[in-house]
Structure 1
């Protein structure tokens, strides 16, 4: 059976929800992880939309609070909402999406990285400079994410509410996992020219990886968010690590 890309499930679901064809869509919980609490990630946002009724809280991506009224997420998650930012929300402090805890804040504007563009790898959409900033309708009184570079870190942590395997359609619990950072060469071997080390970070393995509905979520190393879940071929597929968007140039 052909592998689903990290965006294909969400593209189909959002297309049905909107009843319009979509050129691209957000996607990509954590394969090989364990249940986690938002108390460990107080700045972590579940990015979603009320129209995305197939998921509790409308969640389809993650994000990080970088200013009281700004959330950093993946560009491919929100590029289609640039003209209708009011359809987006950011939810904080909710371990289980089916619960009612935490707080949900509306989005008033979407700013996608000016150099964002898309190519493809085996039918998987590849986002370059895959970053965006959401402006919230009001400031959120929560700790802010510290941003940085992976440097020489060899491991990191990822967190998200997405699939725990390629066939797990129903996970709604926040999960986290430790992932290896194998270096650029591992992703260059897997993806060839589709992997650009100037704006991408290679992380993950067959034992621990991100998956659908994790996109925009954090890769944390040395106590800082160093990249965001962006794309990859399959989830936890041997020989194909996950690819993350570097934060070196924010939109």
Structure 2
């Protein structure tokens, strides 16, 4: 599906990943009420939670490409307004279309960004709303607020029941890339790094929001372990020009 000439949005197809979901990468966080993060949604595949996402409108959510590729939309249920994953009586929606960039690279996680359009928009409430797009400076030291239902310690591959949040500082991208080179993992130019060993995203937080000044500025992508001081978490950078073009075109659908 060609959009605006230079950017292609691709419908979901099957794919094999070179990074395991255990590496994808909240540790060191605290329980957060959904009313303070009403934009975050959980995504389940055949009834099993597997990724998080962020509403950018009441009908459009942004997540990681690796949460989109290979997952048939008929199997996905998106849930909003829940602090606890097991809450009942809250809003749920099916997905009508899902997309990821043609330039997405599953091996390097270049352009690890995806979008899902819901069949029916969510109804806005105190517990359900969307995040504004990023317009904030993402300088080194800026605090990124990360939320999710992912594992709270490295080595675990199970989610937690209650939503967790932690704030992590953005770190120098080149220094981060140099450190990751020691374990033969590159850092894509469409990414940013955040964390210093005092908190991190972890398994099953993938696709979730990184918030600055109330705006969606990053998406959880991957990491080497969880909360390791020398290996910050890696996030897709929503201030990157190529990522911004994808998001703009996706929201126009």
Q: TM-score range by the shorter chain?
A: 0.7 to 0.9
Q: Is the 8 A contact 1:26 1:60 kept in 2?
A: no
Give the structure 2 partner of residue 211 of structure 1: 202
Give the structure 1 partner of residue 94 of structure 2: 106
**Aligned match of 2:36 in 36, 40, 43?**
40
Q: CA RMSD in A?
A: 2.1
Over 3 Å counting, the alpha-carbon distance change for 1:26 and 1:79 in structure 2 is farther
Over 3 Å counting, the alpha-carbon distance change for 1:22 and 1:200 in structure 2 is closer
Give the structure 2 partner of residue 61 of structure 1: 51
CA positional deviation for 1:199: 0.4
Q: TM-score, normalised by structure 1?
A: 0.79
Equivalent residue runs for 1:74-93 within 5 Å? 74-81=64-71, 84-93=72-81
Q: Is the 8 A contact 2:218 2:237 kept in 1?
A: yes
Equivalent residue runs for 1:1-20 within 5 Å? none
Residues 231-250 of structure 1 show CA distances to partners (whole Å, capped at 9, x for unaligned) of: 11000112000000112324
Give the structure 2 partner of residue 225 of structure 1: 216
Over 3 Å counting, the alpha-carbon distance change for 1:135 and 1:116 in structure 2 is same
In the alignment, the residues of structure 1 paired with residue 106 and residue 15 of structure 2 have an alpha-carbon distance, to the nearest angstrom, of 14
Equivalent residue runs for 1:21-32 within 5 Å? 23-24=16-17, 28=24, 30-32=26-28
In the alignment, the residues of structure 1 paired with residue 84 and residue 27 of structure 2 have an alpha-carbon distance, to the nearest angstrom, of 17
CA positional deviation for 1:201: 0.8
Q: How many residues align?
A: 216
Q: Please, which moves more after superposition, 232-241 or 184-193?
A: 184-193
In the alignment, the residues of structure 2 paired with residue 47 and residue 141 of structure 1 have an alpha-carbon distance, to the nearest angstrom, of 17
Unaligned runs of 5+ in 1: 1-20, 52-57, 120-125
Q: Is the 8 A contact 1:45 1:62 kept in 2?
A: yes
Q: Is the aligned partner of 1:151 residue 2:141?
A: no
Unaligned runs of 5+ in 2: 1-13, 247-253
In the alignment, the residues of structure 1 paired with residue 208 and residue 66 of structure 2 have an alpha-carbon distance, to the nearest angstrom, of 12
Q: Is the 8 A contact 1:29 1:171 kept in 2?
A: no
Equivalent residue runs for 1:77-226 within 5 Å? 77-81=67-71, 84-119=72-107, 126-142=108-124, 143-148=129-134, 149-152=136-139, 154-168=142-156, 169=158, 171-192=160-181, 194-196=186-188, 198-226=189-217
Q: Is the 8 A contact 1:26 1:77 kept in 2?
A: no
